[in-house]
Amino acid sequence: MVEMAGKSNSRKKKSSNSSSSFSSDNAEDPDYTVRWPRRMSSQETFTSLSGWKRKTNTCEVKGLQNTAGTSEIKGKRTRATKKKDIKKGEMPVIKTSKMAQARKEPGYLKIERINFGRKRSSTSGRNKNIEDENDQEKKFSLTRSGRSSENENDKKNKKRATIFSWLIDSKTVKENAEVFYMDDYSKRIIKEGIIRREGILCNCCHKIFSAASFIVHSGRGSAKPFERIFTSKNQLSLLSCMIRAWNKPDECERRKFNGIQTKGNACDSYDDACMICADGGNLMCCEVCNSTYHQDCIELKEVPRGSWYCPYCVCKFCGHPARENDYLLECPQCEKRYHWDCHVRRELKIIDLNTIPCAPFCEKSCKEVNYKLERNMVGLKNELDEGFSWSLLHQMDDDTGIYLNDTYKRTVCHSKLAVALRLMEDCFETIVDRHTRINVIRSVVYNCGANFKRIQFRGFYTAVLEKDDEIISVASLRIHGTKLAEMPFIATSNIYRSKGMCKKLMIAIESALCYLNVEYLVIPSTSERISNWIEKYGFRLLDSTLNREIIRRNTLMFHDSIRLQKSLVSSFLAKSGRSPGGMVF
């Protein structure tokens, strides 16, 4: 066998039994003249054995005269004989493609083709330029790195927590849909662009802008940018698209009331988890509501005989349950109950219940906290340094006590809540209450109500840190009057982790709580994260005094978590009447 070296530039010496298909057919080749007599002799032997009649032909090669015979009954033509006949004109020339003809021309240099992103050049000879190959390899590696960076950017863009990304995923607006900005007065189209997950891609400069920046880029200004940007296909404003996405059935399902139905005996309508620690076991049942407690969690030395009332079914002021011909009112802010007579004696004034659409607040401090939240904080964008901003969000349905007449602010607030939920779900594993099977994170972000006190989340607010309409960090807050506030969840987008975003949001939250005159911030933490909260954020383990306050309140807790606390000192912002964002009311 002959060992072939592919497309090697060096000629290797062939053995005597080399196949003719591997030898050259060029008459000017030295090997050709050496092998020609050997070929003719082998052909003569073959024809003599066959008994064919022959006629002589003379072939002249480089001064050598050899006589070779050809058969009158022509056999199968070889490649060499075909080339000879074509030169003599005995056979018609077979038409070849332009590409094949170009390869035979001596002036032909390169034919480039792309094969899996890699460029290769074929020349008329078998020689390869090593430098060209290295250059192609470099280009190929650059192409691969460029493609990988593009794929990484696509993954990042898909995780962008923006309203545009929410609209695309809800199939309300298609990605790359054309939009335009219309002037408020002239009704002319000023600027056009394309919707992307991270923002609006401008057609003129090919840069990504937020909704507000897109209008500023067009040389105009608008306080309601989502109302003045329209889709080209159906002429709907982005605000209308946001309302459609918010009212879709699957979105409405996420924020529904959590009505828990008890299993088995209908008489047993109590919760299966402790109100304090959220764990099961031997529980004490309240005489009035469906709440249950551990004896140790409620700090009782012994189980009381007869009827027992939980801290939510007794008066906040006197500690007694509802009497005959009387009932307990519930404070809209701290959710504590109280006797009307006890409240009047403390306030020293008469209030006509017929003139108040809801139950009055238990104390003046709760009324002030609720007023600041509703009028000065919810839905308001507070500017920070370096282009960042933060705001407080809340689902503002009519039955929650918070109502904004401004449809635009309400819609933007609800849309940001939906985006905040997506970010929370990306950062946390799904947390399902093992006793009621509800989605805890979803119910907290959408401040859903429930018929069980333990999973009643109507008082929750969502704080978000933003930049260019992209939500970066999210935290859940519930304010229990001026005594304490709880923060069970805080999350930062994977793209912005380890960049100080959580710290920036925590500073804004603490400033807001100081503005509301809240004394303590309480969080549940896993054992692995306790040192991080203590060293970086100034928290410490919960003391017994604050623990007694928590017993009297509905706080979210997980059975494998540990509570931490942080004391909040009223800063200059709270005392001077300034908002957390530095704005004066």
β-bridge mates for residue 476, sequence order? 462
How large is the average pLDDT for residues 460-485?
96
How large is the average pLDDT for residues 161-187?
93
Element holding 202 (H helix, E strand): strand 199-202
> Same structural domain for residues 538 and 454?
yes
pLDDT score recorded for residue 142? 44
> Same structural domain for residues 537 and 445?
yes
CA distances from 177 to 180, 246, 264, 412, 501 (A): 10, 20, 53, 21, 32
- Helices (DSSP H) in 486-529: which residue ranges? 501-515
> Same structural domain for residues 243 and 380?
no
Question: 529, 525, 533, 530: which is closest to 560 by C-alpha?
Answer: 525
The pLDDT-based confidence of 306 (bands split at 50, 70, 90) is confident
Looking at per-residue pLDDT, the higher value among 538 and 25 belongs to: 538
pLDDT score of 253 more than 60: yes
Lowest mean pLDDT among 27-41, 230-244, 273-287: 27-41
The residue among 41, 65, 94 that closes a domain is 94
The pLDDT-based confidence of 26 (bands split at 50, 70, 90) is low
Per the CB < 8 A criterion, the answer to whether 268 and 448 are in contact is: no
Q: Any idea what the CATH number is for the domain that residue 445 is in? A: 3.40.630.30
Q: Confirm whether 447 is domain-assigned.
A: yes
Per the CB < 8 A criterion, the answer to whether 195 and 176 are in contact is: yes
pLDDT score of 483 more than 50: yes
DSSP β-ladder status, 64-71 and 54-61: antiparallel
How large is the average pLDDT for residues 154-177?
88
Q: Confirm whether 363 is domain-assigned.
A: no
pLDDT score recorded for residue 458? 92
How large is the average pLDDT for residues 360-366?
89
Per the CB < 8 A criterion, the answer to whether 228 and 237 are in contact is: yes
Q: Confirm whether 16 is domain-assigned.
A: no
Place of tokens 């306080």: 223
Query: What are the backbone dihedrals phi and psi of residue 441, each rounded to the nearest 5 degrees, phi first?
Result: -60, -45
Per the CB < 8 A criterion, the answer to whether 79 and 25 are in contact is: yes
Sign of the four-CA dihedral 320, 322, 327, 333: positive
Assign 481 to helix, strand or coil.
coil
The pLDDT-based confidence of 97 (bands split at 50, 70, 90) is low
> Same structural domain for residues 395 and 529?
yes
> Same structural domain for residues 519 and 379?
yes
Number of domain units in the chain: 3
Average pLDDT, the chain: 78
> Same structural domain for residues 48 and 179?
no
pLDDT score recorded for residue 8? 40
Helices vs. strands in the chain: H and E counts, helices first: 17, 22
Between CA 247 and CA 234 the distance in angstroms is 19
The pLDDT-based confidence of 355 (bands split at 50, 70, 90) is low
Per the CB < 8 A criterion, the answer to whether 243 and 205 are in contact is: no
> Same structural domain for residues 167 and 87?
no
Find which of 74-83, 142-151, 365-374 is predicted with most confidence, using mean pLDDT. Answer: 365-374
Q: Measure the CA angle with vertex 450, ends 368 and 322; round to 5°.
A: 65
Q: Confirm whether 512 is domain-assigned.
A: yes
pLDDT score of 144 more than 90: no
Per the CB < 8 A criterion, the answer to whether 292 and 271 are in contact is: yes
The residue among 62, 77, 94 that closes a domain is 94
How large is the average pLDDT for residues 298-326?
88
> Same structural domain for residues 78 and 194?
no
pLDDT score recorded for residue 184? 77
pLDDT score recorded for residue 532? 95
> Same structural domain for residues 410 and 536?
yes
Looking at per-residue pLDDT, the higher value among 248 and 118 belongs to: 248
Q: Measure the CA angle with vertex 52, ends 51 and 53; round to 5°.
A: 120
- Give the residue numbers spanning the domain of 47: 23-94
How large is the average pLDDT for residues 330-346?
87
pLDDT score recorded for residue 126? 42
> Same structural domain for residues 54 and 191?
no
SS (H, E, C) 303-331: CCCCCCCCHHHCCCCCCCCCCCCCCEEEC
**Number of C-beta neighbours around residue 452 at 10 A:** 24
Between CA 80 and CA 580 the distance in angstroms is 93
How large is the average pLDDT for residues 68-72?
43
Looking at per-residue pLDDT, the higher value among 538 and 32 belongs to: 538
DSSP annotation string for 115-181: ETTEEEEE-SSS---HHHHHHHHHHHHHHHHHHHHHHHHHHHHHT--BHHHHHHHTTSS-TT-EEEE
pLDDT score recorded for residue 153? 59
pLDDT score of 359 more than 60: yes
pLDDT score recorded for residue 5? 38
How large is the average pLDDT for residues 474-497?
96
Element holding 340 (H helix, E strand): helix 340-347
Q: What secondary structure letter does DSSP report for 361?
A: P
pLDDT score recorded for residue 6? 39
Assign 70 to helix, strand or coil.
strand
Q: Confirm whether 466 is domain-assigned.
A: yes
Looking at per-residue pLDDT, the higher value among 365 and 75 belongs to: 365
Query: What are the backbone dihedrals phi and psi of residue 381, each rounded to the nearest 5 degrees, phi first?
Result: -90, 120
pLDDT score of 203 more than 70: yes
pLDDT score of 111 more than 80: no
Looking at per-residue pLDDT, the higher value among 265 and 299 belongs to: 299
Question: 542, 482, 547, 540: which is closest to 516 by C-alpha?
Answer: 482
pLDDT score recorded for residue 346? 79
How large is the average pLDDT for residues 501-528?
95
pLDDT score of 12 more than 50: no
How large is the average pLDDT for residues 201-209?
94
The pLDDT-based confidence of 414 (bands split at 50, 70, 90) is very high
pLDDT score of 365 more than 80: yes
> Same structural domain for residues 447 and 550?
yes
Q: Confirm whether 333 is domain-assigned.
A: no
Cβ within 8 Å of residue 467, ≥6 positions away: 387, 388, 389
> Same structural domain for residues 168 and 58?
no
pLDDT score of 360 more than 90: no
Question: 446, 544, 444, 530: which is closest to 486 by C-alpha?
Answer: 444
Q: Confirm whether 459 is domain-assigned.
A: yes
Lowest mean pLDDT among 148-157, 210-219, 471-480: 148-157
User: Across 431-557, where does the E strand assignment appear?
Assistant: 460-467, 470-480, 484-486, 490-492, 520-525, 540-541
pLDDT score recorded for residue 341? 86
**Number of C-beta neighbours around residue 384 at 10 A:** 18
Q: Confirm whether 560 is domain-assigned.
A: yes
Tokens of 27: 């008459």
Burial of 385 (0-12, 13-18, 19+ CB in 10 A): exposed
The residue among 196, 221, 247 that closes a domain is 247
Assign 189 to helix, strand or coil.
strand
Find which of 259-273, 316-330, 546-560, 564-578 is predicted with most confidence, using mean pLDDT. Answer: 546-560
pLDDT score of 402 more than 80: no
pLDDT score recorded for residue 403? 53
User: Across 519-571, where does the E strand assignment appear?
Assistant: 520-525, 540-541, 562-567
